[in-house]
Amino acid sequence: DDDPTAELMEAALGAGLVAGDDYLAVFTARLDVLRRGGDGAGFRATAQLARETLSGFFPNYVDRRLALPSYWAAVELELNTDDKAARGVWESYTTQQGGDGEADGDGGGGGGEYANVAEAHVAHAEFLWRRLGSVEAARGVYKRCFARARMESAISAPGAGPDGQAVLCRAWLRLEREAGTAETYAAADGKAGVKLRAAEAEAAEKKVLLPEKATRMRQASDPNYKAAPQVGGGDEG
């Protein structure tokens, strides 16, 4: 039998949508129907179609909530009871093709869309830890990417690379604090902790302006502002 929700999805996708979030909302509605109907194979195929559509039409689109990979991996685990496919979803989103290794499972297809997004690696590690119970696999995610260059945060302005590294370092230390040992925490602190403290010190230093620079900024914003005279800078009276 024809599924009317499939036709509705096709009609919505052909209605001239202009933003990635709009396409994602349409696909998510269809995925909800498939999940509730227990159609794991249909869910997987539609999730793959959503991924291909978004990457094809919006190559620079970043779903800041990571809604599609999160939903997809959860359904692979809960409905399809396929641990390998669930792992494969996150691996394919966070592994650049030809990079750290090939992704397993059925979540592949080129991928690597979020290889430089820190929150995606954190979500991957959290899934391995909290959903699959593999602390060691989660730790491996952080070890591979905590110091990677050009890592950005999905919630920061583009180009804020150090912010992404800080996100990863904090998440790794949280993992070790909650699920590791004193030894694994010390080892992580010797790597992620050192990098995090250096990044925080650099950020704090950037916030401290030299007096001359502060004066120039104040004068630029307020033409009536006059800097205090320099001590010994001229004769009085």
For 219, other C-beta atoms within 10 Å of its C-beta total 13
Cβ(138)–Cβ(132) below 8 Å: no
pLDDT (0 to 100) of residue 186: 98
| pLDDT, tens digit, 9 for 90 and up, residues 67-98 | 999 999 999 999 999 999 999 999 999 997 65
Cβ(90)–Cβ(123) below 8 Å: yes
pLDDT (0 to 100) of residue 109: 44
Cβ(165)–Cβ(146) below 8 Å: yes
Give per-residue burial for 183-212: e unless 16+ CB within 10 Å, then b: ebbebbbebbbebbeebeeeeeeeeeeeee
pLDDT (0 to 100) of residue 106: 46
**Does the structure show a pLDDT above 70 at 203?**
yes
Instruction: Please provide the average confidence, as pLDDT, over all residues in the chain.
Output: 84
Q: Note if the pTM is more than 0.85.
A: no
CA-closest candidate to residue 161, choices 146, 175, 144, 140: 146
| pLDDT, tens digit, 9 for 90 and up, residues 95-152 | 976 544 433 444 444 569 999 999 999 999 999 999 999 999 999 999 999 988 788 8
Q: How far apart are CA 230 and CA 211, in angstroms?
A: 12
CA-closest candidate to residue 72, choices 110, 32, 125: 32
**Does the structure show a pLDDT above 70 at 159?**
no
Q: How far apart are CA 177 and CA 195, in angstroms?
A: 17
Please list the alpha-helical segments (H only) found in the chain.
4-13, 20-36, 40-57, 67-78, 83-94, 118-126, 135-145, 161-179, 182-188, 194-207, 211-221
The pair of structure tokens assigned to 86 is 């669930």
Mean pLDDT along residues 143-172: 80
Q: How far apart are CA 134 and CA 28, in angstroms?
A: 28
70: left (phi over 0), alpha (psi -120 to 50) or beta: alpha
